[in-house]
Amino acid sequence: MIERYRNSFNTLFTKEKYLEFIHNLEEGFVKIPFRVAETPVFIPKALEKQLIAAGAELIALIKQPDFKTLTNDAIPAAWNVANENDHPHFLSFDFGICKDDQGNLLPKLIEMQGFPSLYGFQAHLANTYKTTFNLPHHLSPYFNGLNEAQYIDLLKSIILGKHQPHEVALMDVDAPEQKTLIDFLITKQFLGLKILSLTDIFKEGQNLFYQENGKKVQLKRIYNRLVFDEIADQTALFKGNFDPREALDIEWITHPNWFYRISKYTMPFLKTEFVPETHFLNTLTAIPADLENYVLKPLFSFAGKGVIIDVTLADIHNIKDPQNWILQRKVIYEPVVQAPEGGIKVEIRLMYLWPDGQEPKLCINLTRLSRGKMIGVSYNKDFDWVGGTVGLMER
């Protein structure tokens, strides 16, 4: 979107250079199972300022004293985890890039998460774009004046806290099989922590342990990457290991309840130019006449699962649990990134770290490019110049 960088990048781009970029990205780690885009996004200063302002408005709601009361019903009773803390350590806000009535770029909120994102991979991704494509040194994926070393130090302080790396585990249901494994491996390289599957961890009393070289090692903290929705029908995994919902002598980074509190559930409470009109389906007093301008989303889903884009009256009447759905005005993405063949739609994820006793800090971003109806790598498999990428800003 910064024209001089875009024109230069497109002029010099070759498919051979892209293959070299992917090789460099994967080297020493693992083959990436999701599509990475051919290009970064060059974010202009005006849009950067708007993104920061939009994020600040959302943070203000989350910091309200009654926020927990407001969102208590967001947490499914079956997945309410004990010992919740005061705030999430990670926040992510996804904004579709649109245009206002005057033709200016405008971010519109699509999704929000109180859950970790690809905090390791995005730093590596930005470096690899810059080195492979020989991009200017002063282009940065970081906000708030951070450089890479400062960012990794902050990430380390959030995830490890006062503990030693071997006392902290990045945990997912089956960690080596996750599509985000490359992020796990980069995070391990940065911080030295363990990567464990749920079934690698066992309980004695209220404490959690794992085995290494025939020895029992106590865990003090879990960097949680497990989405409970993904194991709703696999609770047998807990038998003989541990049940995450119990009161345990463990620190959660971030506590699992925040995945639900800060989610699509939060969006109907937000009234700002940066948030599309959103309603809980069970609170609608009248169904909009222009349903073609709305999208129907399940509250408790991940990665776009269950979303109905072309909504009909029949879709609404067929919903058996309207309290678990939202109806949201569609966001019209503007194809603002110029590829060799046409414009591409953009979504920018702002990624925050929130240290205990401090304010949330906007740190880095994750950006996605799309030609399809929905943003996301799984909805753009047959296109090029789409997929996961990163926004770079002038510093």
- Scanning the structure block, which residue is given the tokens 């995994």? 237
Shortest CA distance to 308 belongs to which of 290, 322, 326?
Answer: 326
6-39 pLDDT tens trace: 999 999 999 999 999 999 999 999 999 999 999 9
Cα dihedral across residues 160, 358, 395, 15: positive or negative: positive
- 2: its two tokens: 């910064």
DSSP string, 8-30: HHHHH--HHHHHHHHHHHHTTS-
Residues facing 36 on adjacent strands: 388
From 126-140, 195-209, 296-310, the region with the lowest mean pLDDT: 296-310
Render pLDDT for 127-179 as a digit per residue (tens, 0 to 9): 999 999 999 999 999 999 999 999 999 999 999 999 999 999 999 999 999 99
In 14-120, at which residue ranges do the beta strands (DSSP E only) sit?
41-42, 90-99, 105-113
Alpha-carbon Rg for the chain, nearest whole angstrom, is 21
Looking at residues 64-84, what average pLDDT do you find?
Answer: 94
Closest alpha carbon to 365 in 383, 328, 343, 390: 390
Mean pLDDT of 211-226: 97
Tracing tokens 């222009």 back to the chain, one arrives at 290
Least confident of 169-183, 225-239, 272-286: 225-239
Q: At what angle do helices 121-132 and 181-191 cross, to 10 degrees?
A: 90
pLDDT tens, residue by residue, 307-319: 999 999 999 999 9
Other beta carbons within 10 Å of 321: 11
Q: Are 295 and 328 in contact (CB under 8 A)?
A: yes
Among 54, 58, 57, 37, CA closest to 105: 54
**Range 207-213 contact pairs with CB under 8 angstroms and sequence separation of 24 or more:** 207/248, 207/249, 207/250, 208/242, 208/248, 208/249, 208/250, 210/169, 212/166
Which uninterrupted H or E stretch holds 326? strand 325-329
112 bridge partner residues = 93
Beta strand pairing status for 342-353 and 325-329?
unpaired
Q: Which residue has the tokens 């269950």?
A: 306
- The whole-model pTM stands at 0.94
- Fill in the DSSP letter of residue 173: T
Question: Residue 72: which residues within 8 A CB-CB, separation 6 or more?
Answer: none
pLDDT in tens, 33-57: 999 999 999 999 999 999 999 999 9
Burial class (CB in 10 A: 0-12, 13-18, 19+), 186: buried
User: Is the separation of the CB atoms in 109 and 278 below 8 Å?
Assistant: no
